[in-house]
């Protein structure tokens, strides 16, 4: 994947949160939520960001939409409409314009819509804020989009309130809102995990359809490897702020190289009563990344770790061929 072909190119992205030390003292301790990660997302393709809670995947998603400001690093966007920009350093009016190119869908369909605003107002908001179109044009655009996401007839949904809709319908509204300004890139933070199982597939398929139809790429954040497999062409696995493995989806699932990825895959329950799943045991739990020591983040729990792993800094991502990268000294 050459650099020129990427819609999004993230390099050495870092986000540190100060652990509050008081009102007038500067912090000495930091939470390394996102600790030097790099990845790319191609045009019309989706990257799955997988990991357990606290690994930094949600923070990454928010960094890519500038809901958090990065501590350091590059977020390069090669938008066909507006050209090449480093989202990490944009300010003011430029930043506002670029907000229209990257949107986000949240996990909770009940909390991501303002309960006091109609569906029309909610979906039209990005248009209003970006100053696109007059009232008639906005009405038309919103109606068209509602129909596209499966809320038909649009006229019966336009002036309803969120509490009159079901969870699946609300999530479709959220998708419509994300797409109304025709972004090139959407961050989806666990959009289906709070939906009923029978609704999930519909929403996931809708997102894939829209990706094709509207040429949108996704950063699909999830803790569920199976869902990531279904939705994404590539998967990156995060652990305590670092990407420890990334590869094309099928390659990663068939041939996981990092011990953590192997453990993760082995822990996923399989809907087949006759399948004897052998979980790879790893001890301990995930620790909060406060001032982590400069060694492999997985050292404490890794079944293969040795003194070399302890004495050296966190391993860099190495190319093992076929677009498969791993950060491990033992591979």
Residue with Cβ nearer other proteins (83 or 115)? 115
Q: What tokens does 115 get?
A: 């309960």
Q: What tokens does 59 get?
A: 């923070």
Residues 153, 147 contacting (CB under 8 angstroms): yes
Closest CA to 244 of 330, 135, 307, 169: 330
- Closest approach, Cβ 25 to other proteins, in A, equals 15
- Closest approach, Cβ 98 to other proteins, in A, equals 8
Residue with Cβ nearer other proteins (23 or 321)? 23
H-state helical runs in the chain = 57-64, 92-99, 119-130, 135-148, 154-158, 167-179, 197-214, 225-231, 249-254, 259-267, 307-311
Residues 81, 7 contacting (CB under 8 angstroms): no
- Closest approach, Cβ 224 to other proteins, in A, equals 8
- Closest approach, Cβ 151 to other proteins, in A, equals 11
Cα–Cα distance, 267 to 319 (Å, whole number): 26
- Closest approach, Cβ 266 to other proteins, in A, equals 8
Residue with Cβ nearer other proteins (10 or 210)? 210
Residue with Cβ nearer other proteins (12 or 213)? 213
Residue with Cβ nearer other proteins (144 or 312)? 144
Residues 26, 16 contacting (CB under 8 angstroms): no
CA atoms within 13 A on the CB side of 250: 1
Residue with Cβ nearer other proteins (140 or 318)? 140
- Phi, psi values for residue 88, rounded to 5°: -65, -25
- Closest approach, Cβ 2 to other proteins, in A, equals 27
């Amino acid at each position: 994947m050459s650099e020129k072909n990427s819609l999004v190119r993230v390099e050495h992205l870092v986000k540190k949160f100060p652990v509050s030390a008081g009102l007038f003292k500067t912090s000495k301790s930091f939470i390394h939520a996102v600790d030097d990660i790099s990845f790319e997302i191609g045009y019309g393709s989706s990257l799955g960001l997988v990991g357990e809670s606290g690994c930094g995947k949600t923070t990454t998603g928010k960094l890519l939409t500038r809901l958090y400001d990065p501590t350091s690093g590059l977020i390069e966007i090669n938008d066909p409409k507006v050209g090449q920009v480093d989202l990490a350093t944009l300010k003011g009016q430029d930043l506002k314009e670029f907000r229209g190119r990257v949107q986000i869908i949240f996990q909770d369909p009940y909390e991501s819509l303002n309960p006091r605003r109609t569906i029309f107002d909610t979906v039209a908001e990005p248009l209003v804020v970006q100053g696109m179109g007059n009232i008639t044009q906005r009405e038309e655009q919103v109606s068209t989009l509602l129909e596209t996401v499966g809320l038909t007839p649009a006229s019966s949904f336009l002036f309803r309130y969120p509490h009159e809709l079901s969870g699946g319908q609300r999530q479709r509204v959220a998708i419509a809102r994300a797409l109304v300004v025709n972004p090139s890139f959407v961050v989806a933070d666990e959009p289906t995990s709070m939906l009923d199982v029978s609704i999930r597939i519909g929403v996931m398929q809708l997102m894939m359809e829209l990706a094709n139809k509207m040429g949108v790429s996704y950063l699909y954040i999830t803790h569920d490897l199976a869902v990531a497999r279904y939705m994404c062409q590539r998967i990156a696995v995060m652990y305590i702020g670092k990407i420890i493995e990334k590869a094309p989806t099928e390659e990663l699932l068939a041939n996981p190289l990092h011990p953590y990825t192997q453990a993760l895959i082995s822990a996923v329950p399989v809907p087949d009563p006759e399948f004897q799943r052998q979980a790879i045991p790893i001890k301990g739990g995930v620790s909060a990344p406060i001032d982590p020591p400069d060694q492999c983040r997985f050292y404490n729990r890794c079944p293969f770790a040795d003194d070399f792993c302890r004495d050296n800094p966190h391993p860099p991502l190495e190319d093992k061929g076929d677009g498969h990268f791993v950060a491990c000294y033992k591979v």
